[in-house]
Structure 1
């Protein structure tokens, strides 16, 4: 059997698939990953066969779009760009996967995999990385760009979400998807957020205590837990100068606004001012040049990337955008976090972290040096937050969402009539 992994997105979307691919290689499977071109080197480092979806210019063009990071307009920009990759993804699967000999494991935005499931009758598993992707009348997630008060009933948030389907998400994605489906003789998709769930199996890369199952979730949905996959990023170790910096003083504050963010200069200027006000050392994680001030005091250091599972246990707090992968790393490390949401799932993750007692959130507008410093001082002094973070770290200790995901995928594997596993022809 050959496992075709298909992932579309940025680091937070791709790293779990690299981890799953590495685990299947260790288990002796024939596996290949199709993902955006910039992740080819990541796959090569672990010996994972790779197919590029698009090129480096495509990835830079999408991530550089300022509309992508707007709380309201970001959804239209995201889904429009992702729908454009539907045909390319489908063509690759159609040319390489074989019924009875292959299984396709696809991220939420790999719409071409769902088309292949319907047209080619291939076994497809959908992987959702964040609770935002699971709509529910009973526990509707917090939507980006919709300033509803915290006490708003879930059914109202759900109703607003259905409106977003009709007026934002659908118009951005469905014309492209349905035009291609028509070429293949398939009926049009009416609602993307329902259709993107594979009817065979949906794996949720978060534990049930982070987002519990709801009565109206798809019955085929299954929690597997957080995939701690940062070691599959740009490097699996700390840069020597960062190691020296950590040894040179107190535990620092760590600031990051995500791997794909290209409009974070204001965030990092505020980070610098907060560290000065608090008299704290700081680590600024930003892959792009021009995001961080060129001249930094000796108490701050800028590095493009660092594996959070190594860095956070040696840090005082994490201040970040609220991506699910970053949230999971902080929970696993027992590190207090302040979330400054940008778009997409960030607002929902912030609410969940606050509910767990593991941190707090602050809007981008209110993230100023004075207010940010006051909130961080309170966060760092809170015995309740420290206790909650410690409890959550112990709760996640030893759990492996990657292994659990691979176990679930193996259960779906095609089998030969003699009872053995299907093999690659």
Structure 2
């Protein structure tokens, strides 16, 4: 079977699709991946044929945009970048894929793949790695930057989300998408979050115990579980200096604010002060050297990257932004997490983690050394949280979201819609 895969976004969007490509190749299928140009080395290391979308400079401008990591303001730079890659994605699939053969597997933001399915009749499975992408009147996701009380009816929160579609997401995403659709002889999309869920197949890469399925989800949606994909990142081994650090003392706190964050300096400065206040050791993970303070005090170490599946089982807790991939890594390791959400799905992931007693959430404004120390102290001392984390670790050990997704893709290819 020929499988063409497309991933648009940052590490959290691309690594799960790369992991799928590797697993499908291991099952004997022919695969090819299109993703932003900077991910070429990761695909090469995994032995996956790669087609670069856009340029490294364009990706760097996208991730350096200050508004990207602000609730609601981030929608415009996100969809500006997504729009830049929509037509190249469509052209690649139009040139490479025969409609009657194989299947296309694409991340949510790969709008060019959805267009190719609609215009060219390609068999498409859209992969949602975030529960945030699943609309529901019965259990509406938590919106970024909208502090609605949980006791409000879900239908009200869903109605607010429709307003976000009309006044925030639509103006950012639809003009360029619909202009290209007109060139292809297609009618306009009225609401993006509705349109992308009209794909023939939907694969939901999060388990039902974390996000229970809802009666009003699309009938073609298949829920498979989390993808643990960090071994496809910048390295699959712990740095020797980090190994030595871990061996030298008590389990540390780990701090990360995501692979694409360029405005994390205040977060990491607070992390340093927090560790000193609690008398804890700490690991700071930030790709850019200028994000973490220079001249760290004893008991702290900074690295650009570490595979969380190897690091987290040797740590006390994880403090992070709330990206779904990072959430899943903490669940697999059975460590509590303190989430300081920034934008997009982070608020929704934090709400789900807190609801399941797997961690807690603090706003960026509240994330000060004193307040965070009190919150972490309670978190680490809680028997209820410890039991919930142990239960999540056991569940994750019994799941294989990648293998289940591959099996679903094989069925979807055989049962072409």
TM score, norm. by length of structure 2: 0.98
Contact 2:114 2:199 in 1 (8 A): no
Contact 2:133 2:193 in 1 (8 A): yes
Q: Which runs of 5+ in 1 are unaligned?
A: 417-425
Distance 1:226 1:176 in 2: 32
Q: Which residue of 1 aligns with 2:396?
A: 396
Distance 2:385 2:272 in 1: 24
- How do 1:181-260 residues align onto structure 2 when only pairs under 5 Å count? 181-260=181-260
Deviation (angstroms), 1:415: 8.4
Q: How many residues align?
A: 416
Contact 1:124 1:198 in 2 (8 A): no
Distance 2:17 2:199 in 1: 20
Q: Which runs of 5+ in 2 are unaligned?
A: none
Q: Which residue of 2 aligns with 1:49?
A: 49
Write out per-residue CA displacement over residues 380-409 of structure 1, whole angstroms, 9 at most, x where no aligned residue. 111111111001111111311000000000
- How do 1:20-419 residues align onto structure 2 when only pairs under 5 Å count? 20-414=20-414
Deviation (angstroms), 1:147: 2.0
Distance 1:378 1:339 in 2: 14
Q: Secondary structure at the match of 2:197?
A: coil
Deviation (angstroms), 1:136: 0.8
Contact 1:84 1:176 in 2 (8 A): no
Q: Secondary structure at the match of 2:261?
A: coil
- Which range moved further: 151-160 or 247-256? 151-160
Q: Which residue of 2 aligns with 1:421?
A: none
Distance 1:414 1:360 in 2: 43
For the pair 1:15 / 2:39, whether they are aligned, the reply is no
Write out per-residue CA displacement over residues 232-281 of structure 1, whole angstroms, 9 at most, x where no aligned residue. 10000100000000000000000000000000000000000000000000
Q: Secondary structure at the match of 1:319?
A: strand
Distance 1:86 1:33 in 2: 15
Structure 1 runs (4+) greater than 3 angstroms displaced: none
Q: Secondary structure at the match of 1:202?
A: strand
Contact 1:143 1:347 in 2 (8 A): yes
Q: Secondary structure at the match of 2:284?
A: strand
Write out per-residue CA displacement over residues 62-121 of structure 1, whole angstroms, 9 at most, x where no aligned residue. 010011101121122212321232111100100101112231101000000011001110
Distance 1:415 1:222 in 2: 14
Contact 2:238 2:310 in 1 (8 A): yes
Distance 1:261 1:267 in 2: 11
Distance 2:415 2:47 in 1: 26
TM score, norm. by length of structure 1: 0.96
